[in-house]
Structures are given as C-alpha cells and as structure tokens.
Chain A
C-alpha cells in the first residue's frame, strides 16, 4: 500500500474511534460547566458496544431502505474521511477531494437517514425527516457559497490546494473573506450535525426533535451504527473546519514524523473546537423551528459577503 493509502486508512479508522470520544468530551465539558461531574469521556463507546449486543428490532412495515440508511451514512462518512486532508494534505485520491464532491458525499448520508426515517412509517420519523431536509436545503447554498469564497484565491476547489494555499499565505487567514466564510461555515456545521441552536441533541420532547426524531425506531446494532456515524460526521466537519481556517500543523509530506505531528495537532484542534462549541451551548437555547430559516439566511448573507470580499480583494 502506498503512503497516501496509509494516511487515508489512519484517517478513516481514527475518525470512527475519535468521533464518539469527541461527543463524550463535549458532554463532559457541558456537564462540568453546569456544575456536574458527568459521564466518563468513553461513555458513548461503552453504550455503543452494549447496543451492538442487543436485539435489532425493525418496524414491521419497513423495507430495505430503513436497514440500508445507517450503512449508507457510515459509508459516505468513511468515503469523505478517506479523501479529505485531515492528518495530511496528501491523501489517497487527493485529486478527487474536491470541495463540492465532499459536500455532496456528506449529503448522501443525510438523505439516506431522512429516507430511512420516512420508511419507519411513524409520525415522528416523517416529521423529523421533513424538518431535517428543510434545514439541509437551506444550509447547502450557504455552505457552497462559503466554499466558493475559499476557492477563489487559489483558483481551485481542490481541498489539498486550498489548505496548502492557506499555509503558504498566512495573511489570507485573517482576510475578511476568510472570517466571513468561517461564520457561515460554523452555522452550517452546527445545523448539519444537529447541535444547538438548531437542534437539541439531548432533548426528550419528540415534538421539538429534528435529528433525534429520525432515529427513534432504530435499535441494537442499527442505533450503534447511527450513533457512531453521526459522531464521526461531527468530528469530520470540525476537523475540516479546523484545517480550512487554521491549517497549521497538517502534514504536507509523507514522513512518519510529520504524520504523527499532523495527527496530534488535528486532535488538539478538533478537541479545542469541540470544547468551544460545547461551552457555547451552555449559554444558548434552541431557536424556534420557524426561525431556523432566518439563521440560515444569516449564514448565506455571510457567505455572499465573503465571496464579494474575495472577488474585490483578488
């Protein structure tokens, strides 16, 4: 196997272990700020291992779509983790790590989950799916336009090129278009991963749920796949955001030392972003569903302004 292939394998395997640990860490941060001790960081992994050993119930009227959705979620997340520069800018098939390809590969997983929720045939599944698709449809243009602002200075939408450009031109990172695009990117990541203020991941109220409502019918091994898949998506998006806006430390050549440093720096960056997101969540409440479009419109305005700044600056 080539060295690029080894980097990709590290990224995929690392992401599916680190994702649940990141979710556990973010819960820990929240608990500490609320004055509680909270569960250990590896609690999500422990719960997942237990779920795998349990019975896998499926709704009587559900078809293969319901069973396939968690697998598609995992597969799309793994495909993105294989391509994109997380630990190193030199991944296997790095030429295919196009920003637009990555966004739509992630979308395959989201659409599969929405179809699986519809297929469960319950009222809450359909309601959660319709809400998730609405938010996804509003978040997608904001994300694509924000990405355009990053692609304009390097004349390429290829992720390794964008990130290498950021390393070789540190002044770009403090430019208006980067800062505006960062705001848009952050709001979209929070919406896509179902965090506050768009969705509350710890809610028990079915009527307010978005992501949780879609997975109410999954049990046993299926819910384990969903939990790991969504945790890995959160880690992946935070890692991508960290590398796009703070690219220092990522390995640019394929020596053992630089890959080890890249991995360590990535863990620090993702844990840092996770801490900030979790600490921020303590202070805010979920916005009403009908105000989510306003939030997404705000993200879209930020990304349009970022493109304007990029075109004027270039």
Chain B
C-alpha cells in the first residue's frame, strides 16, 4: 500500500537536496540599485521559441534533487503576481508581440532573466527564417544565464545572486 511504502521511504531517504554553497555576489549585468526582496522571487516563464532543452533544466530545478522552491523561487501562472520574466530561446516572429505584452503585464519593478545561449545570440537558429532576434532586441534583459542548456546548479546560482539568499 502507498502509505506503508511512504512510511518505509521517509526515514530511509538520503537527505536531498545537499547543502548549498553560500550565495554568489550580485550578477554583473544586474542593476545593484534595483529594489528587491531577499529570499522571494516569482517569475513567469515565457518560451519565446526554445528547443525545450532549457525547459527540461528549468523543470528540474524544482525537482526534489535541486528544490529551488526552498530558496523562495517559484514559477507563477500569472505575470501580474511576478517580479519578472524568465525567457528561453531566440524570439520567433510569432512570439515577439506576446513576449512584449507579457513584459508590460508584470508590475514594476520588473526584471527579465534569460536562460540559455539562444536567448542571447539566437545560437544555431541565427539568421533563420522566422527568427525576430535575441531577447534583448524585444525587451530589456537584466540577467543572463549562459549554457546550452545551463545546468540546474548554474541556474540556481544565478537566481540566488538576485535574491541574495
């Protein structure tokens, strides 16, 4: 039965996630004067044309192994409840308008975090048909997380530089 399986599992499990290193210094591209709240960051994820590699890594930062939620990070369903956007992929022509609209739907002060190399320079999709450009050609970018795709530990370390926790 499920309950007995849980009763066996809970005491025996290895403590996951493992202890984290101390938080990194503020990200270089982030405005240091931006008002922000320690230990609380809600983001709206926008897939602007990604190959879904970054999505897999983003999903895994909320898994039991990395458990980013314990540091105050959450992906929210509404941009109105958020502190900013988390954008992945090069911006396709069809997503340029929705991305800009979503950005303006976030209450001030708002920030944009881009995840993955495509968001910065379009990666392998550069000059492709249907590509509008990198994310900073549509909305201002505050923090970039490099990688193709970035590892979950890298994403968490960069986000911790925003909240300082």
Q: Which residues of A contact B (CB under 8 A)?
A: 31-40, 43, 46-47, 49-51, 53-57, 203-206, 209, 212, 215-220, 223, 283
Contacts and interface: CB of A to CB of B under 8 A. Distances in A.
> What's the interface size class on B, roughly?
20 to 34
B69 A56 contact: no
30 contacts: A31-B70, A32-B10, A35-B16, A35-B64, A36-B17, A36-B64, A36-B67, A36-B69, A38-B67, A38-B69, A39-B69, A43-B40, A43-B72, A46-B37, A46-B72, A47-B42, A50-B37, A53-B35, A57-B80, A204-B76, A204-B77, A205-B77, A206-B77, A209-B77, A216-B78, A216-B81, A219-B80, A219-B81, A220-B107, A283-B3
Interface of B: 2-3, 6, 9-10, 13, 16-17, 35, 37, 39-40, 42, 64, 67, 69-72, 75-78, 80-81, 83, 105, 107-109
Given A36-B70, A54-B108, A54-B109, A49 B81 contact: no
Closest 10 CB pairs of A and B: A50-B37, A55-B107, A219-B80, A55-B108, A216-B78, A35-B64, A37-B70, A219-B107, A204-B77, A36-B67
Given A53-B35, A218-B80, A283-B2, A46 B40 contact: yes
Contacts of B37: 46, 49-50, 53
A47 B42 CA distance: 9
B110 to A, nearest CB: 9
A227 to B, nearest CB: 9
A276 B80 CA distance: 32
Nearest to B39: A46
